Amino acid sequence: MIKKNANFFISLCCILLAAAIHVYARLVSLPFHSNSLILGLYSLAIVFWMQKNQRMILHQEVRRYLLYIGHLLLAYLFVRTVKYDLTVAGSSLERYLWYVYYIILMAIGVFLLFSVLYMDKGRHEKIGGKWSLVYVLLFIFSVLFISNDLHQMIFTFPLGLSNWSDSSNGYGPLFSLLLVYCGAIVLVTFFISTKKLLDRRNVKNIFVTLAVPLVWALYTYFYLRRTDYFSWFFVAFKSPEFNTLVTMAYIESLIYNRLIPTNLDYEKFWDLSSLDIGLMTGNGVFHSKNPSLDLDRSLIQRAEVYPLFLDETTLLESAKVSQGYSYWLTDLSPIHAIREELKNFGDLIAEENELLKAKNQLKKDQASLKRQMEICEFIEGALEDKVLHLEECLGDLGHSEEAFTEGMRLATLVQVYIKRFSNMLLLSQKSRVSSLVELKLAMVESLNYLEIFGVDSHLVWEAEGVLDLDNMLLVYKTFEGVLEGNIRTLEAVLVRLELRERDLVLSMEIENPDPTYEGSRFLGRDFSCQDFVEEGTLYLRAKLFLGGDPDDLR
């Protein structure tokens, strides 16, 4: 624990030592400028704090912005020390250092805001372009500060530039706008971080983050009141140094509440995880929750390309991370249990029980009974041939393992089709359109069941929005018909669905199609299919015309 927090303890010791020097310099006259020594101690504390953040924080953008803040804090204290200890009072250099002092404070607030904005973003996610306005305003105010001698729109000098001082200046018309800008940045930063804590329902630890601005507000209040009770505290921690500590403390409170992800306490996530996971370093050293598992380097590398079955119920998958690999095991026992239930007609019994419950429930509502019965009859009529087909498949599974597998392939595919087609038919009774997510779920479930039997499948989905349910049923029927026609021989299938401006395009590639497959045909005025077989692969392209010329099949 001490090793992990060494930088933090060093930073804390530097800060406490600087406070002690402040107090000692007030009591005893020192033969040197104590501010230079204190600048060195605070700089050392900030550098160690920056190193800790760069080592711990995982998000690249947050890490980058906190690095900027650390450098600005160093510049902030350096400018303050040079201004008061190494420049002539009332000189032009002192005045421009005073301007830079304010610019640095604004930049620290801006970078802290952007650190908060990136907290919940993914590694490659970006924030909205509207936030660029914050940078634009920062640039404008910086230019106005640097050129203040010419226009005096922020600070005015009634006695003239030659007799100026930072205690006798006035305030120009843009000073209030500057305060609004800085206050808005602080409030937005505080609001966003607090909202993220509340969204995570982390009410217990939210007071850690709230305490930091509260302490800063109390310090400012008593500092302005010049309260004697805290005079020695104000001696130990000057205002710029306290502002630096508040900035660092606020960031630390966000890290403490895990709003900023770090690599600390990963062991707890490891122990609490319900997954059977592990890590393999680049040197081939394994770290696993299940150390008795017999795995080797080549097995982990192969599992990155495609999942491997370690036995009938255990699937191994891996992914490359940094200099090694992470891997995890998936228990397929529940899927095998479902397969056994299908073999024993458990699914059919469960569906019949659900239908009986639905009918009993319908009897309680006499006002809607007639409508519900019509819907049931409509579905039964539409799927009658599929139900008979399913019964034939389950009644003729054969005695050989190959015949049984082929029969179960087709039976599984048909039962998924019955269920999903029924769902779409029910939706069509309530509305003319539905989200394309329903069609995607239907296709994904069909392909997932095929993967149980060793069929490699992949779905590329480039369609969002809603679609007329009649057209959705037509597309799903075509998709299912192609799979059923080739189910006994197919080894792999690639499906792509694209929604364009005027049409919906379904593309399928079937590896090792059934020679007896009859091929597609024209299915309607606004729906066309084309297919051909080349080098053992069936290529199909079906186009549903949502508008335009149906003959324009691209």
What would the DSSP string read from start to end of 26-77?
HHS--SS-HHHHHHHHHHHHHHHHHHHHHHHB--HHHHHHHHHHHHHHHHHH
Strand 527-534, strand 503-511: pairing: unpaired
Between strands 456-462 and 492-499, the pairing is parallel
pLDDT at residue 549, rounded to an integer: 46
Instruction: Give average pLDDT by consecutive 10-residue segment, the chain, 554 residues.
Output: 64 85 80 78 89 83 90 90 77 86 91 86 76 90 90 86 77 89 89 81 71 83 75 81 87 82 65 66 67 71 78 78 74 72 64 72 58 59 65 64 70 76 76 86 85 85 86 85 83 90 87 81 65 88 71 38
Structure confidence at residue 495 (pLDDT):
92
Is 460 strand, coil or helix? Answer: strand
CA distances from 251 to 69, 168, 211, 476, 509 (A): 10, 35, 12, 52, 53
**pLDDT at site 522:** 45
pLDDT at site 452: 76
Q: Map residue 532 onto helix, strand or coil.
A: strand
In 3D space, the residue among 474, 472, 494, 498 whose CA is nearest the CA of residue 483 turns out to be 494
- Measured in residues, the chain has a length of 554
Count of helices and strands (H, E) across the chain: 19, 14
Extract the tokens encoding 459: 């779905």
DSSP string, 110-146: HHHHHHHHTTT--TT----GGGHHHHHHHHHHHHHHH
Alpha-carbon separation of residue 404 from 126, 370, 393, 512 (angstroms): 52, 42, 10, 20
The pLDDT of residue 356 is: 74
